[in-house]
């Protein structure tokens, strides 16, 4: 354990003397910051599983059932605070609920920590607090503890919210990137990119024929439907910062597998596609707040698709690809994501290197 | 449940159209914000216990022992980031560990959510991350999940950290303000006001004969010593924002009891007293980050004092007062705190009304 405070920073101070916006963007720099700095300083076996949620087994209980809990945290700094389809409050509930759901947990209890900027309109805070309660009710969770801090004007940005969450894991599946296997089907729950584009449009005052609404929603029901349906889920990931592309690259790297996807099977709303073309974004990397990918055993692929399509939030679900290589062991193999384009060409999907859309969550 | 988003804000928008610094100061306005707004919007039985930590009973487990967990959250926005005796990292660990300890829980798992300002020195972040790991090790907890966000320059202040924590409750005591009874002895674990004055001095560049160091420390060992020592603890509270004064008023109000304390029994460092006189602060309201009060059954008072004094963090512990009235039922009685001064006069201790020291945690 590194406790020598004078030890040198593991990130090159020549290259990155200061934190950049891209260090929070979900791409390569954020990955580097987490891996090189936070993992180096804070390492422990649970943190090193790199899940959306930490899975905690309470060994303290010697008799009866041993509780397995999921525990997660997320801070929300979205700008603007209100956008079509949601606001920072709904996002703070759904984002954390979704992180818990990605371990297959039933989310139960949330905390809420507010960092308010002096001068924030009181009524804005009230609208956000009400939206949080409404979203919590819809997701089946309770906000059981909280904290409020106020920073001086110009040292914050209206309101930042941290929500941490606890869920209970009652299934016996092992839902983790390390469990992804050759032959697994890759399923996407719906169209991608709406959240990021909705935020961008609200921020820049862009107008479209019809308003593009964020996909912000709690994914817990969809996941529970898969579990109840007996689907052999190997991995689950919600597609937030960095979008579908970054999520798949992370899973490929963690599993050491090759993931092959088909562009034609990935739904993108026509207006979102148009906005991306104009703004120079690739929808693969645009953030979502109510979409997931799941990797399931091949024999369960069709059934999983059916279960997902029966759920409101999975109505336009698709099988978008397959896990291919088994090659070497996960620890030595290089994970890879390839995509067959609509015109038949195959390209390698890389992790986003710079900052695409800052502060989308 | 109020889900009507158009319902009017429960805080007077004529009186308080905007959030003030004092809404985060630990005094009357923060109390009002929490009670009128957050409790109104987010109400549920666990939140309404108003503990430092939420106590969760996992009814999901039908056989064996039913886990009782403590869950808490705190955001840290202290300015400056480094101060004599600690930094935002040590504060973020100890503050949350202490909130858990105040329910008598053994703190186990923490989350860490960073909100970084673009332009933060990378090396500063590294020093903070290392300090967090060191503090976590000392408090016996692990940081098991995390999150990083970056906001644009001028929209944050270097770094804000949220830590949430989970602890396990293995005793059968009911440690809550509602359990405070007439005759209970009030014990204070040590001198007050050092954290707040250390921050103030660092912020304003004040110099004293010797440097005043923050009392920032994990209180879990002290609490566990009391529990292991078989002391009948009725209530525990760490003395953060609002200091000893506000903590006692909150407990008096929640219990409906009168608390009588003696000024002469409250240790205050001579330099802290001097600084308070110059700056116009009352040490009763200055924040601490390693001090607690506990209310114990009268027959256990002397033993509790002995246990505390044997611990490093309780070496200058004192019995500072007693719970007096039983009067009416807690729901109707008005809680009151009175203090007998050194010259024999008695005054009522009220909750702090304005902002004394902003951003001390």
Local confidence pLDDT in tens for the 361 residues of chain B: 334 455 899 999 999 999 999 999 888 899 999 999 999 999 999 898 888 889 888 766 655 566 789 999 999 999 999 999 999 999 999 999 999 999 999 999 999 999 999 999 999 999 999 999 999 999 999 999 999 999 999 999 999 999 999 999 988 899 999 999 999 999 999 999 999 999 999 998 888 888 999 999 999 999 999 999 999 999 999 999 999 999 999 999 989 999 999 999 999 999 999 999 998 999 999 999 999 999 999 999 999 999 999 999 999 999 999 999 755 554 545 789 999 999 999 999 998 876 678 899 9
The span from the CA of A206 to the CA of A202, in Å, is 7
pLDDT range class, residue A334, cuts 50, 70, 90: confident
Token pair for B152: 């644009």
Question: Among partner residues B18, B37, B60, which is closest to A168 by beta-carbon distance?
Answer: B60
- Given an 8 Å threshold on Cβ–Cβ distance, is A146 in contact with B2? no
Q: Does B25 touch chain A (CB under 8 A)?
A: yes
Computed over every residue of chain A, the mean pLDDT equals: 92
Q: How many CB pairs under 8 A join A and B?
A: 329
pLDDT tens digit sequence for A313-333: 999 999 999 999 755 554 545
Instruction: Note whether B47 contacts A120, CB cutoff 8 Å.
Output: no
Enter the DSSP assignment of A211.
Answer: P
Residue A62 is predicted with a pLDDT of 54
B71 → chain A, closest CA residue: A145
Maximum distance among all alpha carbons in chain A?
61
Kindly indicate the confidence band of residue A1, based on its pLDDT and cuts at 50, 70 and 90.
Answer: very low
- Residues written for chain A: 361
B166 touches chain A (CB under 8 A): yes
B122:A24 CB<8 A: no
Fold type of domain B54-169: 60s Ribosomal Protein L30; Chain: A; (3.30.1330)
The Cα–Cα gap between A196 and A358 comes to 10
Residue B322 distance to chain A (closest CA, Å): 29
Asked if B354 is an interface residue toward chain A (Cβ–Cβ < 8 A), one would say: no
On whether any CB of chain B is under 8 Å from the CB of A208, the answer is no
Residue whose structure tokens are 């605070």: A81
Q: Are B143 and A44 within 8 A, CB to CB?
A: yes
**C-alpha A328: how far from chain center:** 28
- State the pLDDT at residue B65: 62
pLDDT at A6: 58
CA distance A71 to chain B (A): 7
Q: Do B150 and A23 touch (CB under 8 A)?
A: yes
Q: Which of B56, B144, B151 sits opposite A157 (nearest CB)?
A: B151
Which of B11, B38, B86 is the best residue to mutate to test the A interface, defined by the most A CB atoms within 10 Å of its own CB? Answer: B38
Is B144 in contact with A168 (Cβ distance < 8 A)? no
Q: Token digits for B263? A: 């000024």
Q: List own/partner pairs for A172-177 with CB under 8 A and 24 or more apart.
A: A173/A104, A173/A227, A173/A232, A173/A233, A174/A234, A175/A102, A175/A103, A175/A104, A175/A233, A175/A234, A175/A235, A175/A236, A176/A49, A176/A51, A176/A234, A176/A235, A177/A50, A177/A235, A177/A237, A177/A250, A177/A251, A177/A254, A177/A255
What does the pLDDT look like over A68-107, one tens digit per residue? 899 999 999 999 999 999 999 999 999 999 999 999 999 9
Q: Examine the pLDDT at A268 and tell me if it is beyond 80.
A: yes
Beta carbons of B132 and A42 less than 8 Å apart: yes
State how far the Cα of A278 lies from the Cα of A360, in Å rounded to an integer.
19
Does the pLDDT at position A110 exceed 70? Answer: yes
Q: Which residue has the higher pLDDT, A29 or B3?
A: A29
Residues in chain A closer than 8 A to B112 (CB atoms): 38, 42, 73
Task: Write down the pLDDT at residue A61.
Answer: 59
Tokens of B99: 């909130």
Q: Give which of A28, A34, A38 to mutate to test B binding, by max B Cβ within 10 Å.
A: A38
Inter-residue contact A116 to B23 (CB < 8 Å): yes
Q: Predicted ipTM? A: 0.94
Of A37, A64, A133, the CB nearest to B125: A37
Task: Tell whether A148 lies on the interface with B, counting CB pairs under 8 A.
Answer: yes
CB contact under 8 A, A148 and B38: yes
User: Given the DSSP bridges, would you call strands B106-117 and B142-151 parallel, antiparallel or unpaired?
Assistant: parallel
Is 90 exceeded by the pLDDT of residue A156?
A: yes
CA dihedral sign, ordered B342, B346, B352, B353: negative
Residues of A numbered 72-131 whose beta carbons fall under 8 angstroms of chain B's beta carbons: which are they?
Answer: 72-77, 79, 108-109, 111-123, 125-127, 129-131
pLDDT recorded at residue B221: 98
Rounded to whole angstroms, how far apart are CA atoms A59 and A61?
Answer: 5
Stretch A110-130: mean pLDDT, rounded? 97
Given a contact cutoff of 8 angstroms between Cβ atoms, the answer to whether A58 and B65 are in contact is no
Q: Is the pLDDT of residue A2 over 50?
A: no
Residues of chain B with CATH 3.90.650.10: 177-349
Name the pTM for this structure.
0.94
Q: Where in chain A is the domain with CATH 3.30.1330.10?
A: 54-169
- Alpha-carbon distance A115 to nearest alpha carbon in chain B (angstroms): 7
Class of the domain covering B177-349: alpha beta
Would an 8 Å CB–CB cutoff place A324 in contact with chain B? no
Is residue A333 within 8 Å of A258, Cβ to Cβ? no
Q: What is the pLDDT of residue A333?
A: 55
Residues of A in contact with B38 (CB under 8 A): 112, 129, 146, 148
Which residue of chain A comes nearest to B51, CA vs CA?
Answer: A145
Confidence of residue A239 (pLDDT cuts 50, 70, 90): very high
Chain A contact present for B57, CB below 8 A: no
Kindly write down the DSSP assignment for every residue of B258-283, as one continuous string: EEEEEGGGS---HHHHHHHHHHT--G
Chain B environment of A120 (Cβ under 8 Å): 18-19
Split at pLDDT 50, 70, 90, the class of A351 is confident
Answer whether A313's CB lies under 8 Å from A190's CB: yes
Write the residue in A38, A116, A157 that is nearest to B146 by C-beta. Answer: A38
Confidence of residue A26 (pLDDT cuts 50, 70, 90): confident
pLDDT tens figures, A278-292: 989 999 999 999 999
Instruction: Pick the residue of B26, B115, B147 with the most A CBs within 10 A to test the interface with A by mutation.
Output: B147
CB proximity A17 to B under 8 Å: yes
């Amino acid at each position: 354990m590194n406790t020598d405070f004078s030890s040198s920073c593991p990130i090159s101070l020549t290259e990155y003397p200061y934190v950049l916006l891209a260090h929070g963007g979900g791409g390569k720099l954020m990955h580097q910051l987490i891996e090189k700095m936070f993992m180096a300083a804070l390492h422990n076996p649970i943190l090193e599983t790199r899940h959306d949620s930490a899975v905690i087994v309470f060994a303290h209980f010697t008799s009866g059932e041993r509780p397995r809990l999921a525990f997660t945290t997320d801070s929300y700094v979205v700008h603007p605070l209100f956008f079509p389809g949601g606001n920072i409050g709904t996002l703070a509930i759904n984002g954390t609920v979704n992180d818990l759901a990605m371990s297959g947990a039933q989310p139960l209890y949330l905390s809420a920590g507010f960092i308010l900027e002096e001068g924030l309109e009181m009524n804005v805070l009230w609208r956000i607090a009400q939206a949080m309660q409404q979203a919590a009710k819809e997701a089946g969770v309770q906000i059981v503890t909280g904290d409020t801090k106020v920073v001086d004007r110009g040292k914050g940005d209206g309101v930042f919210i941290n929500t941490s969450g606890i869920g209970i894991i009652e299934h016996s599946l092992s839902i983790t990137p390390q469990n992804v296997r050759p032959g697994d089907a890759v399923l996407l729950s719906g169209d991608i990119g709406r959240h990021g584009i909705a935020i961008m449009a609200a921020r820049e005052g862009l107008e479209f024929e019809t308003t593009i609404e964020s996909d912000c929603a709690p994914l817990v029901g969809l996941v529970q439907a898969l579990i109840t349906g007996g689907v052999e889920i190997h991995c689950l990931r919600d597609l937030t910062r960095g979008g579908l592309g970054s999520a798949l690259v992370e899973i490929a790297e963690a599993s050491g597998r090759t993931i092959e996807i088909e562009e034609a099977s990935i739904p993108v709303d026509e207006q979102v596609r148009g906005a991306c073309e104009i703004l120079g974004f690739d929808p693969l990397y645009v953030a979502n707040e109510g979409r997931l990918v799941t990797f399931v055993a091949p024999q369960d692929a069709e059934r999983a698709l059916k279960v997902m399509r029966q759920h409101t939030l999975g109505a336009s679900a698709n099988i978008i690809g397959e896990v291919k290589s088994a090659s070497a062991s996960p620890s030595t193999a290089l994970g890879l994501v390839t995509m067959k384009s609509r015109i038949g060409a195959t390209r390698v999907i890389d992790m986003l290197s710079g900052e695409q859309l800052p502060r989308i969550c």
